Amino acid sequence: MNLEIASHHVTNVEFGERTEMRDGALFIDRAGLVSHLREDRNFSDIDITIAHPGDMTRVINLLDVVDIRKKEADSGEVFPGFIGKIEQTGLGRTHVAKGVSIIETGRREGFFGGILDMGGEGSRYTPYALTHNIVLIPTPREGILAAHYAYSLKLAALKTSVYLGKALLPVPPDEVPLSDFEPGSRNGTGGTLPRIGYIWHVLSHYDLRSVYYCGSRSYSFYPFVVHPREIVDGALISGHYDHSPALKNYTCSMLNNPVMMELVARHGKDLDFAGVILTNSPATVEEKKRNGAMSARLAKSLLRCDGVVITKEGGGHTDMDLMESCKGCEKAGIRTSLIDIEMLSPAGEGDYPLVVFEREADAIASGGNVEERVRLPAMENVVGGEGMKELGEDAGGEKEVPLFLLSGAVSELGMSRIRGEWY
């Protein structure tokens, strides 16, 4: 059984008397959704607002971005380990709303949120300013631990996704592309095209800086092969709460991973996509070397790759994970292409854009310099909490900020509006 993604193009989002899709617009029963989310006793209160493209609104303390998704009743549920049961994913029909996102916000000591300007100069840098955004603003109950609050925030965003996704089911989708891709198949090419794999490093340091795979945290697993359909169907979820916006991938960018989707789209045309190796970024040098060797062995022996694309998330610490996988693959005869971000001065100057280099890494695409500065105009509205320490007393005022504060401006998966140039 294959996976069908039933896409619904949402042209507007408004609060209404009931939650439904009508004439391309999503109407939300705000009181009903708030009541649904207030079932979590870790929240003392929760507010919900909507930010539209072009609004002079600044969203602050942004922690994650999530799609609206809902499985049909007879084909399981999305987000296994959170909403759905832990079972085989990537099958059946999943309804997805396009043009709308759920924004998870939260503020407390140790959290590191981003900002999102829906209008003005800052909106030019991020894809999340192009969608109608449903902003969740929960208040934690007194005395709650940071890890428990983070988990409840994540659950609230995913519950909202499925709650609103139910409104998609009665409506005919705008398109239903069939995802019948099978990694490693020659697709009738007779083996004439290069076999290209994808090694994807995710953060895995501790509870507030990790990724979930089917509900399990990323620090608990070793490199393994995962089907792209599992990713698209919600198996991988961001769990980052204390890391710079530029150094982590949001759930939305994971489910719509541009690298993976491009390889799937080109399968059978100019390459044979061999599959995805999902691996983590452990804390010690020995573990990094082990993971690099294991990823290279999977790429060579199991997927039989001629080449691989390798990405990661995180800052300088995880440059070593990227380079160890690169070095292992190159020594095995697999050509590599890497995507990484640069950490230079605001003017783009400096000797070490990456913390770790290996001579085998001779093809690297830059995701941008996280320290580049952007001047933002004053906003009319600020949502997402009472304030944000990185913005000072006037969170809605005119600011000059580093690119790493703008959610979605720099993406280590390439899900950004920043583009490189060939010289």
Span 168-183, pLDDT tens digits = 999 999 987 655 667 6
Q: Are 295 and 200 in contact (CB under 8 A)?
A: no
Side-chain-facing half-sphere of 37: CA atoms under 13 Å: 31
Answer whether residue 415 is part of any domain: no
Q: Are residues 189 and 156 in the same domain?
A: no
Answer whether residue 110 is part of any domain: yes
Q: Are residues 353 and 266 in the same domain?
A: yes
Q: How confident is the model at residue 351 (pLDDT cuts 50, 70, 90)?
A: low
Q: Which domain holds residue 83?
A: 3-168
Answer whether residue 332 is part of any domain: yes
Q: Are residues 154 and 261 in the same domain?
A: no
Q: Are residues 20 and 80 in the same domain?
A: yes
Q: What is the mean pLDDT of the chain?
A: 90
Residue 291: CATH number of its domain: 3.40.50
When comparing pLDDT for 421 and 232, which is higher?
232
Which tens digits make up the pLDDT trace of 214-247?
888 888 889 999 999 999 999 999 999 998 999 9
Q: How confident is the model at residue 352 (pLDDT cuts 50, 70, 90)?
A: low
pLDDT at residue 83, as a whole number = 86
Q: Are residues 270 and 135 in the same domain?
A: no
Which of 55-59, 83-87, 174-178, 284-288 has the largest mean confidence?
A: 55-59
Q: Are residues 155 and 186 in the same domain?
A: no
Q: Are residues 162 and 188 in the same domain?
A: no
Answer whether residue 405 is part of any domain: no
pLDDT at residue 1, as a whole number = 60
Which of 47-56, 214-223, 246-255, 269-278 is the least confident region? 214-223
Which of 35-39, 75-79, 217-221, 273-277 is the least confident region? 75-79
Answer whether residue 413 is part of any domain: no
- Distance separating alpha carbons of residues 98 and 57, to the nearest angstrom: 21
This prediction's pTM:
0.93
- CA distances, 346 to each of 196, 244, 349, 371 (Å): 35, 16, 7, 5
Q: Are residues 29 and 90 in the same domain?
A: yes
Answer whether residue 420 is part of any domain: no
Query: Tokens representing 165?
Result: 């996704």
pLDDT at residue 422, as a whole number = 66
Structural domain count, the chain: 2
Q: How confident is the model at residue 40 (pLDDT cuts 50, 70, 90)?
A: very high
Asked if the model's pLDDT at residue 188 lies above 60, the reply is no
Please classify residue 150 by burial: count the beta carbons closer than 10 Å to its beta carbon, then call 0-12 exposed, 13-18 middle and 19+ buried: buried
Pick from 23, 32, 108, 21: nearest CA to 63: 108
Answer whether residue 54 is part of any domain: yes
